[in-house]
Structure 1
Amino acid sequence: MRCVVFGATGYLGGRLVPKLVEAGHEVRCVARDPGKLADVPWRDRVEVVAGDVGDPASVRAAVDGQEVVYYLVHSLHKRDFVDLDRRAARTVADAAARAGRIVYLGGIAPADQDLSPHLSSRREVGEILLRSGAPTLVLNAAVVIGSGSASFEMLRYLTERLPAMVTPRWVHNRVQPIAVRDVLHYLTHAATVPRQVSGTFDIGGPDVLTYLEMMRRYAVVAGLPRRVVVPVPLLTPWLSAQWVNLVTPVPRGIAVPLIESLVHEVVAADDAIAEHIADPAGGRTHYERAIELALARVRDADVPTRWSDAGAAAPSDPLPTDPDWSGGSVYVDLRERRTRADPARLWAVIESIGGEHGWYSFPLAWSVRGWVDRLVGGAGLRRGRRDPRRLHTGEALDWWRVERLDRPTLLRLRAEMRLPGRAWLELSATPAEGGGATYRQRAVFEPRGLAGHLYWKAIAPFHDIVFGGMARNITGTAERTP
């Protein structure tokens, strides 16, 4: 099938496109700025065209010759999103009237209730597309669980950063979350649903939970202490949104409409979609498993995709096109220095780090941290290293573990000390233009809960002494080595 995707740079669009390609479809991606798709792994397997849902001419050109139109666009971050989305939906509906199929992802909305502006707009867009004259599938979902989903990021940040919180009564409302992998399953298979099928269908995961249960189960999966939640009747959705804006990096323009929508119970009305699209192989993903996938940033003993250069390996992974505030908190201390030493001498110093050679900065601080680690049951610095010059992948190095070794360019260490989070230290040596070498040092910390954030902020004032000193002394030692 020839498929055109409006919203290919968005959260779901960026994950749907490679799924459509894998399914054998020809895919055209529409983006206001095609340059945003320049670095995605699947760029050379699709057609990318410039287009704006507010420009009828560009929409007609994008839809021309296509059999399936995926409409995954919204303007939630803009103040007048209701009007913008209404006009954009009409433009796409007019252009797609002769297409074989329109597929739209909306939001589950309870019937016969005064809806929030967000859910009301989602319902209106679906109705506009259904009136287009083309067979249309409107798939409605509640909270989508996956790194990068605005609803999930709000849940993640609230739960991780607040061990105790005062919340409005809506935390007892029921929600039917769905894993992003399952959403993509339904969207992908919607392309081949027979033309005579047209209408609105709810999609959801196998679990129905209150928002309070979702936060507490997230805490269990993330290894956090039980969250203390005290619901009170005085917090309006607007006040709740201000609190979310203060505590999390989710923009206020997105947090407010999402919070307002939580006053409704969002549970699938039925499972009629199963008559046209079978469940994913192995069944729909349970909530805890969806959380595990969303938090599984380390794959194949490699760095988290949140800060690696690789493309996402799974729908639950972050993508380069995701907003900066998604993907959870990751703190990075990055140092880079040019040295006169050639790369081989610099690498020799890097690979000999630790053990009897020490860590090249503030020995007392490293010793004290090692003693503290041993007192709380950690490894401390007592493990040393097996060979003073050469390392091997997987071996212990003081309180680190060699996670990756690309001799003679890259050494990545994973911390095994007792920490309120996960940490890595990466050291690399590359030839510099004009001679010498470039030394690059990156310390990465993924905090776990409020304690993790406080830990990083507490040690941040010493980073220049510890990490800065390490960078200066490693390059200096390489220059002095004969």
Structure 2
Amino acid sequence: MSETKRRPVVALTGASGYIGQNLLKKLTKYADVIALSRNGDHKQDTEHVTWRSCDLYSMADAEKGLEGADFAVYLVHSMLPSAKLTQGSFEDMDVILADNFAQAAKKQGLHQIVYLSGIIPESEKLSRHLRSRLEVEEILRAYGVPVTTIRAGLIVGPKGSSFPILKKLVKRLPFMALPKWTRTKTHPIALKEVLHALNKSIGNDRLSNRAIDVGGPEIMTYQDMMVQTAESLGKNPRILPVPFMTVNLSRLWVSLTTGTPKEMVYPLVESLVHPMTAKPENMDPEVSYGQMSFKDAVQTAIEDEKQEEENQKPSKNTQGIKMPAVQHDVRSVQRILLPEGKNADWAAQYYVHWLSTTLDPFVHTETDHEDNTQICLRLSRTPLLELSYSHERSTSDRALFYITGGSFQNTKRNVRGRLEFRKIPGKQECIVAIHDYMPSLPWFVYKYTQAKAHLIVMYWFRKHIEKMIEQSRVPHSV
């Protein structure tokens, strides 16, 4: 994009992350940036950067975060837990984040969303991680805002996910036991060339509503990459092919060896069975073809990491800083099927009715004419939970309740606790989610009683709906 009289405004999600930080430097050369982060209020604004705190699990936050933006860059992924207790899969978390963002982009009149995803191989059975990346792309497109998707394989940079894991494996092992998946082909690309692709896509009408594959000059196996990374680190480990190591065993081995959380490692390793190479028909001459060799990209990443560590050495001024208190918050997200023709509003109302019927005679529910609900014990007048229905924030595809009372919630600390039912765009599926819930029970007691009970109840509800759908498909005899 060239300089214009009015600098465009770009909203950048994940602005404090490793790709976001680097992209921010490029964007400020020609645009004003709204830098979105969960802790944005603690950042210092500059001439062309305005920081905003934004929790994308909240649609209201997403709407405020995107206010005033012309374009947006979506660099969000939810593989790591987002609360003290997170119950649910990263795929279902990503649905909520993408849906909030896409709806907010539509409401604020954005001209384009640029989304960084992964290369999607031709396979009938994609890994969880790649299925989720594709689902997010479909959700971002669902509300009419043009989306440009940049699909990259392994990004070679000093931080992030895949390459640092690979580097740790090489660095820590005296010999490399390489299972079959290490001979799968992939298409690595240097971080700076991914940044170039993202930057060139913003405001580029020619790339609007397209998914673009990007890759470096070499197609390699993971074994090739590990050998070249070892050489760059001055190591010469012995290589031992291991034909019997399954993906499940590999992901555990990688997690233990590198010290990387299993929430991040497991989905990534599961994807390595797929060849992830850029397809010529999905490539674009302006953004797709990286020029930096893998070995040069590795050397650059190693040097950048050393420089960053040098710059971040603790000084006298950084001592004695108080860390924020740990929030005893809960996020619990589950996905259920919906009967044909039913929506999220139906799911919410049916759930309240089903809960009272299923847990009778111990629990009953009461709903008033405003759809506010109390969940109570039969023998007590004090409700366990009070749910206040938000008419203003609800639609047929999203039913939102604020948790406003009850003996199960911490009244003093609960600020944003809520329960929502959300239909997934284009699918007959619904997300049921509790956000920012603060329980009143002592944490250890809550974690192993009420939290587990909620999972069991949601499992029963999901199975009940599945049975209802199955029965509706059985032809009735005359």
TM-score of the superposed pair, with normalisation by structure 2: 0.59
Superposition deviation, residue 276 in structure 1: 5.0
User: 1:266 maps to what in 2?
Assistant: 276
Cα 1:133–1:276 shift into 2, 3 Å: farther
* 1:238 corresponds to: 248
| Secondary structure at the counterpart of residue 143 of structure 2 | coil
Measured on the aligned residues, the alpha-carbon RMSD in Å equals: 2.2
Q: Secondary structure at the match of 2:99?
A: helix
What is the match of residue 431 of structure 2?
Answer: none
Query: Relative to structure 1, is the Cα distance of residues 36 and 202 closer, same or farther in structure 2, using a 3 angstrom cutoff?
Result: farther
Q: Report the secondary structure of 1:158's partner residue.
A: helix
Q: 1:159 aligned to 162, 170, 194, which one?
A: 170
Cα distance in 2 between the residues matched to 1:234 and 1:248? 21
Please tell me whether the aligned partners of residues 130 and 199 of structure 1 are also in contact (alpha carbons under 8 angstroms): no
Q: Is the 8 A contact 1:101 1:195 kept in 2?
A: no
1:28 maps to which residue? 34
Matched ranges for 1:81-480 at <5 A: 81-97=90-106, 98-194=109-205, 197-225=208-236, 227-270=237-280, 272-275=282-285, 277=287, 284-297=291-304, 304-309=307-312
Q: Residue 135 of structure 1: CA displacement?
A: 1.2
**SS in structure 2 opposite 1:166?**
strand
Q: Which moved more, 1:111-120 or 1:25-34?
A: 111-120
Distance 2:138 2:123 in 1: 16
- Once the two structures are TM-superposed, the CA of residue 278 in structure 1 deviates from its matched residue by 7.3
Question: Which shows bigger deviation, 160-169 or 267-276?
Answer: 267-276
Distance 1:167 1:309, change over 3 A: closer
Question: The residue matched to 2:98 in structure 1 has which SS?
Answer: helix
C-alpha distance in structure 1 between counterparts of 2:223 and 2:287, whole Å: 31
SS of 1:102's equivalent in the other structure is: strand
Work out the CA distance in 1 between the residues paired with 2:41 and 2:55: 14
Identity over aligned residues, as a percent?
33
Equivalent position amino acid for 2:58 in 1? D
1:5 is aligned to 12
Shift of residue 310, structure 1, vs aligned partner:
8.6
- The residue that corresponds to 2:427 in the other structure is none
Q: Is the 8 A contact 2:72 2:114 kept in 1?
A: yes
Deviation, 1:261, is: 0.9
Task: Quote how far apart the aligned CAs of 1:158 are.
Answer: 0.6
Deviations along 1:105-161, one digit per CA (max 9) or x if unpaired, are: 011121233111111101110111122311110111111000012101111011111
- Residues 38, 53 of structure 2: 8 Å contact kept: yes
State the secondary structure of the residue aligned to 2:239: strand
Aligned to 2:69: 66
Judging changes above 3 Å, is the alpha-carbon distance between structure 1 residues 14 and 36 closer, same or farther for their aligned structure 2 residues?
farther
Amino acid at match of 2:120: A
Find the structure with the greater CA-based Rg. Answer: 1
Structure 2: unaligned runs, 5 residues or longer: 1-7, 82-87, 315-478
Task: Please list every run of 5 or more consecutive structure 1 residues that lacks an aligned counterpart in the other structure.
Answer: 312-482
Structure 1: 4+ residue segments shifted above 3 A: 35-38, 42-45, 275-279
